[in-house]
Structure 1
């Protein structure tokens, strides 16, 4: 009986282990790493280097999760970059609706710890009215991405002290990208796609990125050079499942 009981216990443990780990994604969603592991990922809202200064609600893992057609389109974009010694880098993909609500709540509290880097010239209470933070985000539909371009082998994740995101490349946070004229998530007019104040190299890189993304089915967003939405997005409603490890 003892051996039978032990065998039963081991069987239960094995089955539990097989069923453990991350919950399955909703039908139609994939992990980008499973589609194209060569695309760089620096999922900012899963860590502390973002305008919140902490992980956002719903980001239980630093993983890019997307609707399958959006992930396939990013792979197409990366394939186009293969001969240019460049990689896509993604900063945000699917965003749980709870994170969107977290962002809005953050704009309503007086904390200013990340102002120097991310919103140096704008009152945080104005970030929703001005359109820098959405009360409802298309990221939550799984087909909107925040992306940039990095040279292959470029280091990312500098630990330099906070510097205004509108400072020139070499002074602001070094995210390893080509020069796009501002840092990622820079809540400032300089981040507008067609801002005339950025230098020619940055303006050219913005248009290069925009042309690439449009060629694989995404459309740009005028206020943010890094933000792209798949034109034929498969889902019209928002999701709120947590991002978990693969």
Structure 2
């Protein structure tokens, strides 16, 4: 009888609180929806489906060793002018028997934040043998390999290479496999159907500098072919990375976006 009375009193209190609009327990906050891309952004495949896409940060084969935050789909998103300029460059290369292959395009700020967290974790060295074998991880910020902001987040920067047609298939990376230095001979590096550029993509080494004098012969010719094809359409190369180009003038030169990489961000499904 005493227990029944206590229960009735509790129910009466809850009912009174509800009538007065008083919260009796914290409600679960609804998730904040992801931001959407401005209308000036497009999927590269909608502008030029012939450009090969190998979106490394969607996979575990990158210098962090895991899929990167914000890469919900393995797709290239760019501002429309940058995508159209790539289409023009691709048209010229196709006539010569080559194709562009993109590794990374628009990069959300949350992905850059992921890089920064990884760079500060000095115990995580799992991908060092391939991507930064000669660089101490404590130097990644000072040497400019990692920064808290990236031009990729503005939407007009792309990381890419050239592939000789017909394109050979590239085998998938197997997490935990033995890694080989990114600056080794092409036959020894992780197999990539790219032409020989002297290093692999995202190689934290001075040999990746576009005009490093040690890069000669076929490797030099391949870098010049890429730079010439893109430079003729308004892209400017970053001297420290042979694969890194920014379309000028940038549509959003001062804005760093954080919408995730997916069709949904562009107003589509998925």
**Displacement of 1:36:** 0.3
Counterpart CA distance in 2 for 1:67 and 1:148 is 19
Q: CA RMSD in A?
A: 1.6
Correspondence 1:1-16 to 2 at 5 A: none
Structure 1: runs of 5+ lacking an equivalent: 1-21
Q: In the alignment, does 2:89 pair up with 1:77?
A: yes
**Displacement of 1:126:** 1.2
Counterpart CA distance in 1 for 2:170 and 2:100 is 15
| Total equivalences in the alignment | 225
* Counterpart contact for 1:94–1:141, Cα < 8 Å: yes
Q: In the alignment, does 2:214 pair up with 1:197?
A: yes
**Displacement of 1:24:** 6.0
**Displacement of 1:26:** 2.3
* Counterpart contact for 1:132–1:187, Cα < 8 Å: yes
**Displacement of 1:204:** 1.3
Q: TM-score, normalised by structure 1?
A: 0.88
* Counterpart contact for 2:234–2:247, Cα < 8 Å: yes
Query: Which contiguous aligned blocks of 4+ residues in structure 1 show a shift greater than 6 angstroms?
Result: none
Q: Which of 209, 226, 241 is equivalent to 2:259?
A: 241
Q: Which residue of 2 aligns with 1:33?
A: 45
Q: In the alignment, does 2:155 pair up with 1:155?
A: no
The one-character-per-residue Cα deviations of 1:3-36 (angstroms, maximum 9, x if unpaired) are xxxxxxxxxxxxxxxxxxx996421000000000
Q: Which residue of 2 aligns with 1:13?
A: none
3-state SS, counterpart of residue 243 of structure 2: strand
Q: Which residue of 1 aligns with 2:228?
A: 211
* Counterpart contact for 1:181–1:191, Cα < 8 Å: yes
Change (3 A) 1:106 1:28: same
Counterpart CA distance in 2 for 1:117 and 1:81 is 29
Q: Which residue of 2 aligns with 1:184?
A: 201
3-state SS, counterpart of residue 224 of structure 2: helix
**Displacement of 1:201:** 0.9
3-state SS, counterpart of residue 91 of structure 1: strand
Q: Which residue of 2 aligns with 1:145?
A: 158
Stretch deviating more after TM superposition (146-155 or 52-61): 146-155
**Displacement of 1:154:** 2.3
Q: Which residue of 2 aligns with 1:116?
A: 129
* Counterpart contact for 2:36–2:259, Cα < 8 Å: no
Q: Which residue of 1 aligns with 2:187?
A: 170
Structure 2: runs of 5+ lacking an equivalent: 1-33, 264-269
**Displacement of 1:196:** 1.4
3-state SS, counterpart of residue 225 of structure 1: coil
